[in-house]
Amino acid sequence: MGPELQILGSNSAAFAHRRHHTSQLFRIQNQLFLIDCGEGTQLLLKKYQIKISKIDHVLISHLHGDHYFGLIGLLSTMHLFGREKELTLIAPPGLAEIISLQLKHSQTWLMYKINFVEWTPDEVELVFENQQVTVHTIPMDHGVPCAGFLFREKEKKRRIHREVFSGLDLSPLEINRLKIGEDLVNPDGSIKHKNKELTLDPLPQFSYAYCSDTKYKPGIIDQIQDVDLLYHESTFADDMEERAHGTFHSTAKEAASIAKEANVGKLILGHFSARYRELDVILEEAKTVFDNTELAIEGTKFEISNKG
Ligand SMILES: [Zn+2]
Ligand SMILES: [Zn+2]
């Protein structure tokens, strides 16, 4: 199964119209990343039957409350449920201090270690890497230190063509050579098997960019060019363009224009203002600029398919 994004909360500053504050869950190659953790995130995790013990990485975009006020509650619950394995918290400067102060004054001594990875504002930084995935920050323009996150799968190995391969007696070393694209050679240097006869092309690599919160910032287009899936905040519709600019937020059309210029596969809009009970206007305005757009409705899962 390819990567999958599940929307937990998708509203901006205030809880309204049954929409919670921002939070999402991104699954890639058995890793579970919680992206932002607004108030109520724990309840949403429970509602959608997600085991919090499986979350090993939490990424926080910035320190406005709608993106992290649920964090201390979640950290405490992990502790009460007996968590012992380390949790990585990818966070803006200041969050480590806030959390340690909250724990200190409640005299809570966590049974697990928090590994803080503090990113540098206004820089593109690698904040996570394993054998399959990298995560870089995307500097946002939001009046306070704020970062989006770009997830990219690493290049995958070639796949063994089982049907052709079954009659051959190959060593593990030879199989590894095939997977990295080499031909198999005899001791005299002649070709024993051509790579292309025994392997299939690697599965596609997927990418996801999370961009919240930000003023319209065309400067990010190069970095997110051609991603399969883009989440971009669209706090307001066109009627509130001036307010969007004054509060360092984007309109739906601006989010769609970023998607179009970056040639992404699909755009998801979120971080809606409480002033919109119905979100049709946000979706319709965006679609006039970039058609493959959907709303971040709570609970929705987006399977990420390769844009090709
Ligand atoms: Zn926000
Ligand atoms: Zn904000």
Q: Which residues surround ligand 1, an ion (CB under 5 A)?
A: 12, 64, 66, 213
Does 167 score more than 80 pLDDT? no
| pLDDT confidence of residue 124 | 98
CA distance 271 to 234: 6
Active-site entry in 66, 201, 226, 228: 66
Query: What distance in Å separates the CA atoms of residue 207 and residue 181, rounded to the nearest whole number?
Result: 23
Half-sphere exposure of 12 (CA within 13 A, CB side): 23
Please report the pLDDT score of residue 62 as a whole number.
97
Taking the centre of ligand 2 as the mean of its atom positions, its distance from the CA of residue 261, in whole angstroms, is 24
Q: How far is the CA of 146 from the centre of ligand 1 (A)?
A: 10
Q: Are 130 and 103 in contact (CB under 8 A)?
A: no
| 293 φ/ψ sector (left φ>0, alpha ψ -120 to 50, else beta) | beta
CA dihedral 139, 141, 143, 146 (to 10 degrees): -30
Residue 295 vs residues 3, 66, 252: alpha-carbon distances, Å: 19, 19, 10
SS3 of the chain = CCCEEEEEECECCCCECCECECEEEEEECCEEEEEEECCCHHHHHHHCCCCHHHCCEEECCCCCHHHCCCHHHHHHHHHHCCCCCCEEEEECCCHHHHHHHHHHHCCCCCCCCEEEEECCCCCCCEEEECCCEEEEEEECCCCCCCEEEEEEECCCCCEECHHHHCCCCCCHHHHHHHHCCCCEECCCCCEEECHHHHEECCCCCCEEEEECCCCCCHHHHHHHCCCCEEEEECCECHHHHHHHHHCCCCEHHHHHHHHHHCCCCEEEEECECCCCCCCHHHHHHHHCCCCCEEECCCCCEEECCCCC
Nearest ligand (C-alpha, residue 140): 2
pLDDT at residue number 308: 63
Task: Answer yes or no: is pLDDT of 147 > 90.
Answer: yes
- The pLDDT value recorded for residue 203 is 85
Distance from Cα 274 to the centre of ligand 2, integer Å: 14
Query: Which residue is listed with tokens 């031909």?
Result: 183
Cis peptide before 213 (omega within 30 of 0): yes
Question: Domains (ranges, CATH) in the chain?
Answer: 4-155+209-303 (3.60.15.10), 159-200 (no CATH)
For the segment 210-266, what is each residue's pLDDT rounded down to a tens digit? 998 999 999 999 999 999 999 999 999 999 899 989 999 999 999 999 999 999 999
Residue with tokens 């509130």: 240
- Residues 58, 222, 304, 291, CA torsion sign: positive
Give me the mean pLDDT over the 188-212 stretch.
90
Is 66 one of the catalytic residues?
yes
Q: Which two tokens stand for residue 97?
A: 């201090």
Confidence at 148, pLDDT banded by 50, 70, 90: very high
Question: Looking at residue 193, what is its pLDDT?
Answer: 87
